[in-house]
Structure 1
Amino acid sequence: MGVVIPLEEDPGRGQNAVTQLQALVADEMETVNEFIRERMASEVPMVPELASHLINSGGKRLRPMLTIAASRMCGYEGKDHIKLAATVEFLHTATLLHDDVVDESNMRRGKKTARTIWGNQASVLVGDFLLGRAFKLMVETKSLRALEIIADAASIIAEGEVMQLAAAKDTGTTEDAYMRVISAKTAALFAAATEIGAVISGRDGGEAAALESYGRNLGIAFQLVDDALDYGGRAASLGKNTGDDFREGKITLPVVLAFRRGSAEERAFWQRTLQEGNRHDGDLEKAVELMNSHSALDDTILRAKHYGAIAIDALAIFPESSYRDALTALVEFCINRNH
């Protein structure tokens, strides 16, 4: 089924980075989780049932942890970071519900997607409910700048979805075009999650900009590694079936690189399998073989490392602290993870 990419020498190193961050924000994240459970309550039983299916499905809660850690690194001592962290998770969950409908996905984090259980219409509507909850929470913090940042992120994420839809199954997609998609779809929320930590702490524009840069570049690196893992990872550790992107006809960076570097015959393969959706037994293995022959997976990881280095450099203006150390280690986790 393809080769597992050896992304790190020590398989536990990246996981230890997440454990380090989780330990620092454990008490506050418990409050965030309680807040999420409270705010996703509804008199309509399907709403919390469907929402909790995804929210409680074992995700690491990276984005809300980023908000907590960034605010603490900036010296914040109030309580609004709890509401903003919950806001980030609600927005993330809403986009996942919508994504699964658009992508017609059947699995996420090793479980059936909400759309396969409750249907597309319910998934979209509950996603809308969570967006409403997110914006209500933002208003409660009374931070107009935080509201502006997250509202902008929500719009950018939606634009990224539309860009991806327009480029769906288009093997002519360029690397620049693909990077614009993931910068909007994935990186925008990472950037917002970290930037608002500086904003509610009253830090100056330079520190807010640094945290925005950290989050944005971390998000890009995170997505690029996801792209590579879909062809070079293990299904059990990914929480989905290896090759889901291929079966869904998604044009990701490994495909873009393999297509551009391939022969006319190889490009015809990509057009048949992804653009036309005409896939046969053994095509996934052939796709992985072509990617390996053109170093498409390795080069995708190299690009992820490039963006990860930018993210780490963005933190250099902050004084040394356990939070800065944890955020730095998190970049290594996102790049080196094999799960």
Structure 2
Amino acid sequence: MSKLPKEPPAGEITPPALYLRRREFIKSAALFAGTASGIGGGLVWLTGGAANLSASSGSRTPGDATPPGSAPPPPAAGSSSSGANAGGRFVTDEARTSYEDIVSYNNFYELGLSKSEPAKNAGRLRLRPWAVACEGEIKKPAVIDLDTLLQWFPLEERVYRMRCVEAWSMVIPWLGFPLAALLRRLEPTSRARYVQFTTLLDREQLPGQQSDVLDWPYVEGLRIDEAMHPLTMLAVGLYGKSLLGQNGAPIRLVVPWKYGFKGCKSIVSIKLTERQPRTTWNRAAPDEYGFYANVNPAVDHPRWSQATERRIGELRRRPTLPFNGYAEEVAGLYSGLDLRESF
């Protein structure tokens, strides 16, 4: 991959879907014109134990006070909502990105192609009832209600760096539980080598799916050892509050050493497979988006360098770290693998 002489600002990068299918998008742009605004109904607050959730009604902005009839205010930033903080490798001491930036600057093409559209359209997404189908190479297949999942696993706050493939980054205090805890409960068979994640397919709730910029539903995948790694988590909240639609509510994947597009949002299916899943971005542009998508400053995107990044909320760029700064924990997963070829 050739290195461009100058990195484009993150805000000026053409979204890959537009670059690949710009003519088709022009034809379908009218689908987005009349979309209702508002950051989205169903704002939920997390309090007390892992599963004590209370939904509010109507649209809320990031700075709103606790809605009437909701649970008490969320825990202070930096605390765990249910028990001891995981600490150590699960928490970075870097400055956290503001809540307002995290919920207003998003890539979630199902809710819109610009950074601001997902927040405006998130109110269409109905967060309850919600269930996740767990299937494939497991001994205990089941369709599990989200509230049941929250009862099964205590929630932990983990402060992770998040690096987008577009060369911008954030530091996010996620709230969730280790993916490995769920997989162990499902009991993978000896044939389970990969884990496939699928986003909700509903063109009414997710208006971006009315466009054919990608092949819907959105699919992502991990090797089983990546999925079982202690850093990998399923997130249901951030900053002590339940996820909003634009951040992948009500449940999403977080793999901090990989580019952000690996973090499948609004998950409705977790399937263990023997063969490597055909993931959405890898199908759309295999020369730009590999299956592994490990953060690697030495491997440029075909249209920009990955050597540096812009932290949202900061003016200067900073060097990008191999594996997004988690090399000590995860580099061993790829021993013997050429990360320039298997990017």
The TM-score, its normalising length taken from structure 1, stands at 0.27
More strand by share: 2
More helix by share: 1
The TM-score, its normalising length taken from structure 2, stands at 0.27
Which protein has greater RCO, CA pairs closer than 8 Å, 6+ apart?
A: 1
